[in-house]
Amino acid sequence: MTTCIICKGENPISELNSLTDGHIVPEFIGGSLKVKNVCKVCNSKMGAGFEGKLANSLFYKLPRFLHNIEGKQGNLSTPFSGVYEDVDIGKFQTLPNGDLYLIPDIKINNTGSGVEILMSIDKSDLTKAEKYLEKKLSRHFKTEGKEVNKEKLSKLVSELIENAEKGHKKKESPQIAGKISLDFISQVMLYTKIAYELAIYHFDEKYINDPIANKLRLVIKNQEPDKTIYWQFPAEKQSYNVFFDDEHHWVLFFHNVCFIKLFGLSALIEFTEKGSSFVEKEGVVYKFCYKTLSFIKLPLMEQISQTNQSTRSV
């Protein structure tokens, strides 16, 4: 292939903009099938657009973390990285490796007869406690218009910490609540990309001239859905689902539709017209293993037979 299958040569193929290796099922979800038929401009546009949005969404971060799918970056962090608040321990941060870090919190309350100081600090910061408290008290006194003597303040802080009533709290299993949202448009783009690019891989580059193939191409290029293309998303009620587990990524070409299942979420998309030469009457399945980074191609009836045998053995 000498012309980009997305822009069809709109972006000139030069030394700076040559065709590049790309994954049909994106690398960030464990895709392993690479082809060299997309120019760098189009590849970068997809990466910065819908692929980048999905890669950073919790919907994809969670299974990637659970199945140790590193992707292109090679560094895998917990999908729950961020700052949270617990009623017992206060604000804490989830670090990339999954550890919890208690964010230092110092409250100074005037009681009338004196000052009450409440300090929460992570055990890893105990050596910095004096520094944190000294800084907090310095600001407190300044806001009250009082002059601060650094030596006296340092001595006061040392005495306060030495004589303070100390305690510790241990949180065994903090509960983190949140919502998983999914960018529908980006999801449509992803499934369309897989259907279109795998169809070219399966039928050869002659598929590019198919009228519906051209519509799919423009959807990817412009990153805008086309309402004239038959779509069913999600396709959870489709009978196809029973033959494909959630432990792999699946793509099925059957008659004129393409069934795609990623991490258990499936979609159905029309990839050609019913009477075209690209109709797959018998059905062909692509099975992608995101754990071993491998894939196989097999007839639909063989996959159905394997599924039935597994069901009977159970």
List, for residues 252-289, the tens digit of each pLDDT value: 999 999 999 999 999 999 999 999 999 999 999 999 99
Q: Is residue 9 part of a domain?
A: no
Instruction: Of 87, 83, 90, 85, give the one whose Cα is nearest residue 104.
Output: 90
pLDDT computed for residue 9 by the predictor: 86
Q: What is the mean pLDDT of the chain?
A: 88
Question: For helices 129-143 and 150-163, what crossing angle results, to 10°?
Answer: 120
Mean pLDDT is lowest, of 150-159, 184-193, 266-275, 296-305, for: 150-159
Q: Is residue 33 part of a domain?
A: no
pLDDT computed for residue 74 by the predictor: 60
- On whether both 227 and 270 belong to a single domain, the answer is yes
Instruction: Of 201, 153, 174, 202, give the one whose Cα is nearest residue 89.
Output: 174
Q: Of 112, 132, 163, at which residue does a domain stop? A: 163
Q: Of 135, 163, 191, at which residue does a domain stop? A: 163
Q: Is residue 123 part of a domain?
A: yes
Token representation of residue 51: 């692929």
- Tell me what the mean pLDDT of segment 90-97 comes to: 82
- On whether both 189 and 296 belong to a single domain, the answer is yes
| 250, β-bridge pairs | 261, 287
What's the total number of domains in the chain?
2
Residues 169 and 89: beta-carbon distance below 8 Å = yes
- On whether both 247 and 305 belong to a single domain, the answer is yes
Judged against a pLDDT cut of 80, whether residue 213 lies above it is answered with: yes
pLDDT computed for residue 314 by the predictor: 46
What share of the chain in percent tops pLDDT 70?
92
pLDDT computed for residue 229 by the predictor: 95
- Tell me what the mean pLDDT of segment 102-116 comes to: 84
- On whether both 234 and 296 belong to a single domain, the answer is yes
- On whether both 289 and 249 belong to a single domain, the answer is yes
Q: Is residue 40 part of a domain?
A: no
Q: How many residues does the chain have?
A: 314
- On whether both 96 and 194 belong to a single domain, the answer is no
- On whether both 135 and 215 belong to a single domain, the answer is no
- On whether both 141 and 221 belong to a single domain, the answer is no
- Kindly indicate the confidence band of residue 174, based on its pLDDT and cuts at 50, 70 and 90: low
Q: Is residue 20 part of a domain?
A: no
Q: Is residue 189 part of a domain?
A: yes
Q: Is residue 77 part of a domain?
A: no
List, for residues 29-75, the tens digit of each pLDDT value: 999 999 999 999 999 999 999 999 999 888 898 888 888 887 766 66
- On whether both 148 and 108 belong to a single domain, the answer is yes
Range of the domain at 110: 83-163
- Kindly indicate the confidence band of residue 176, based on its pLDDT and cuts at 50, 70 and 90: low
- On whether both 191 and 308 belong to a single domain, the answer is yes
- On whether both 110 and 191 belong to a single domain, the answer is no
User: Within a 13 Å sphere around the CA of 209, how many CA atoms are in the beta-carbon half?
Assistant: 5
Q: Of 128, 163, 198, at which residue does a domain stop? A: 163
Peptide bond into 234 cis (omega under 30): yes
- Kindly indicate the confidence band of residue 182, based on its pLDDT and cuts at 50, 70 and 90: confident
Judged against a pLDDT cut of 80, whether residue 196 lies above it is answered with: yes
What share of the chain in percent tops pLDDT 90?
50
Residues 9 and 217: beta-carbon distance below 8 Å = no
List, for residues 236-250, the tens digit of each pLDDT value: 777 888 899 999 999
List, for residues 13-25, the tens digit of each pLDDT value: 776 668 999 999 9
Q: Is residue 144 part of a domain?
A: yes
- On whether both 210 and 119 belong to a single domain, the answer is no
Residues 171 and 100: beta-carbon distance below 8 Å = yes
pTM of the model: 0.78
